Amino acid sequence: MTIAPDAGTTAAPVPTQSRYQNRVADYWNAEENPVNLELGRIDDLYHHHYGIGEADRSVLEEADPARRRERITAELHRLEHAQAELLAGHLGPLSPADRVFDAGCGRGGGSVVAHLRHGCQADGVTISAKQAAFAAEQARKRGIDGQVRYHHRNMLDTGFETGAYAASWNNESTMYVELELLFAEHARLLRRGGRYVVITGCYNDAYGRASREVSLINAHYICDIHPRSEYFRAMARNRLVPVHVQDLTADAIPYWELRRQADHLVTGIEDTFLTAYRDGSFQYLLIVADRV
Ligand code: GPP
Ligand code: MG
């Protein structure tokens, strides 16, 4: 195909992974934030998402400094775990024979939560070889590597079997990909009547374009947060019909208020999230959809 007058240039072959994807993989291959590793170490459930629900702020009053750090860490982990359980609870009735797909699985916590809750078989994919290896080792140590598997693959092009999955999800990973391509892959993998769940941060396009805070979050994680409308447009075009939508923004604020005071865990993005959530320009959303 010619898209411009030939100026004597030769077309470069399309790389298997784009420059952008390479940079994202680099970020996650190098990432060792205490806020992820210290929380995960508590019960070997490593999450890469935020928390929801009321926080027990009495942990901040703890007099002993070491104990205070420990209690804050445990409380943040409890809130992140609550978020993972909320998502897993929407995957629908599942049996041990059912397969689920975790798109952008990070260090693997979400697939383990889904497996422990439903007994289902899980396939998690991440663009980071390091995360995939870490997650696989966790599953092996738990003795669930026969049911929960992790793959170093692209969530847009998994190569997994068409129609083989009863449920699938993205937990804070949609901002790394084009939604049309992502939902096409979920629709391909899910069987008819299968369930798709996403928890995401999105900008509120009732306010117009993305705010400065959203741009700061994008730069921090090398991602590209989508407007809320794009989720519904791309789902409608890809056989995913929303059955439940929940605005979790207010539920997300206590986590960030506590995290900003956790000196041993902060990454510097805490106040940006709080400003974005409070001014209404940014929303933390759960969408549950049926694959029709
Ligand atoms: C990472 O979680 C989450 C993202 C990269 C997605 C951005 C999320 C939005 C809602 C916009 P993490 O647990 O690795 O991040 P952190 O290191 O900050 O805890
Ligand atoms: Mg985290």
Can you give the CATH number for the domain in which 164 is found? 3.40.50.150
Contact 103, 170 (CB under 8 A): yes
Residue closest by Cα to atom 18 of ligand 1: 267
Residues near ligand 1 (Cβ within 6 A) = 33, 35-36, 48-49, 172, 175, 201, 217, 221, 223, 225, 267, 269
- Element containing residue 24 per DSSP (H, E): helix 19-30
What's the structural domain count of the chain? 1
Q: CA 174, CA 199: separation in Å to the nearest integer?
A: 9
pLDDT of residue 16: 73
DSSP assignments along 256-292, one per residue: HHHHTT-TTT--S-HHHHHHHHHTTSEEEEEEEEEE-
- 3-class SS of residue 56: coil
- Residues of the domain holding 219: 2-291
Sign of CA dihedral 90, 96, 102, 107: positive
Which regions of the chain are under pLDDT 50? none
Atom of ligand 1 nearest to the CA of 284: 10
Contact 167, 194 (CB under 8 A): yes
pLDDT of residue 17: 84
pLDDT of residue 81: 98
Ligand approaching nearest to the C-alpha of 276: 1
pLDDT of residue 144: 98
pLDDT of residue 289: 98
